[in-house]
Amino acid sequence: MTESGDRVSRRDYLAGATTAGTAALAGCSGLFGGGGDALSVAYMPIYPDMQHFVMQEEGYYDEIPTTVETTEFPSGPRIVQAYASGDIDVALFGIVPAMIVIDRGIGAKVVAANIQEAMGIIVHEEFASMWDPDDPAGSFAQWEQEQGQPFRFGTFPEGSVPDILLRYWLSDVHGLDPEEAVEITGLNGASGVFNGLASGSVDGTSIMEPVPTRVTDNDLPYERIANAGAFMPGQPAAVTLVSDEVRDTDAAQAFVTQHQRATEFIADNRDTAAEHASTVIGAETLSPETAKRAMDSPLANFISDPHEIEDGTKTFARYAEATGKTDSALTVDEIFDYSLYDDR
């Protein structure tokens, strides 16, 4: 185990190792619960995990009273698998995979939110010109008549946060049957969504930053016709999940404290935070310029307070059950532990 006085050099070493992926955790144990001596933190290379990028690059992990080991995962399901194996103590990822972990009986709770109201509905500019929120069925019917095929939404796979948000917008906001009014295709991550829009293989999406900014930067013919905050206040997206073995430790409390510190840093230093995201994700994937412009988006609402996403989480819990991601609609008490945030 590296002593606390050596954490800076260890953090620098780990910063270079975080892209190693899931294999880096093979055989690793979690803090206390798994018998290990480090706090294992999983994250995804997505804009909504901004707190992790700041905590790593600003050295906030050094303020946590144990060694912190961070590992990048390519998707939420891969993090769920690692949780099931006992390899993860803390994870920053989507609210739906967090629910899946809990639903499977793995002891863990959401202790902080990372972002809220993060999704936008983006459609082809030709559809935007015919979109009538007072007659959504007529708008989609007109598109199908003129194009000779239903409107094609492409987003993350069924049951994901963007997918559930899209289905909620269609059904609960506009009274449409998603299976009849449109076609919905599951695509492979943010790059798959962007490529689908760029190639014209889909006509629209439900997605978070930085995809909308990339669409604008590349002059693609799409417009955002709805923001999640307008129809689902407190819409949950990425959250911080902590295992039961860790939640009552000083390390967990310190993590949430530093998470809130990172959120405050993001609010006060948005360009620098964006540069940190580009550094950790990789400039070839997310350029500093795009990351900074995405900070100006109405979808870039970074928070830590888990209370703010409680109502939206109830809706997502119902949809997670309906899409078969969970066996039941989890309750607020089953999902959240507010104490670490409230006791900072």
CA 279 to centroid of chain Cα atoms: 18
Residues 226 and 124 in one domain: yes
Of 203, 231, 259, which closes a domain?
Answer: 231
Residues 173 and 265 in one domain: no
Q: How far apart, in Å, are the Cα atoms of 332 and each of 110, 173, 307, 309, 338?
A: 10, 23, 10, 10, 10
Share of the chain above pLDDT 90, in %: 88
Residues 23 and 102 in one domain: yes
Residues 130 and 274 in one domain: no
pLDDT band at 37 (very low <50, low <70, confident <90, very high): confident
Per the rule left: phi > 0, alpha: psi between -120 and 50, beta: everything else, 224 is beta
Residues 110 and 159 in one domain: no
Backbone angles phi, psi at 43, to 5 degrees: -145, 165
Of 207, 231, 255, which closes a domain?
Answer: 231
Residues 245 and 96 in one domain: yes
Residues 312 and 338 in one domain: yes
- Residue 28: what pLDDT? 42
Q: How far apart, in Å, are the Cα atoms of 293 and each of 51, 213, 232, 281, 341?
A: 18, 7, 24, 16, 30
Q: What total number of domains does the chain contain?
A: 2
Distance CA 21, CA 25 (A): 8
Residues 213 and 66 in one domain: no
- Residue 82: what pLDDT? 95
Average confidence (pLDDT) over 243-261: 97
Of 191, 212, 231, which closes a domain?
Answer: 231
Residues 173 and 110 in one domain: no
Higher pLDDT, 37 or 123: 123
Structure tokens at 134: 């007072």
Range of the domain at 225: 120-231
Backbone angles phi, psi at 331, to 5 degrees: -90, 165
Residues 30 and 51 in one domain: yes
Q: What is the pTM of this model?
A: 0.88
Residues 30 and 91 in one domain: yes
Return the CATH number at 45. Answer: 3.40.190.10
Residues 225 and 263 in one domain: no
- Residue 110: what pLDDT? 98
- Residue 36: what pLDDT? 62
For 57-114, what is each residue's pLDDT tens digit? 999 999 999 999 999 999 999 999 999 999 999 999 999 999 999 999 999 999 999 9
- Average model confidence (pLDDT) across the chain: 90
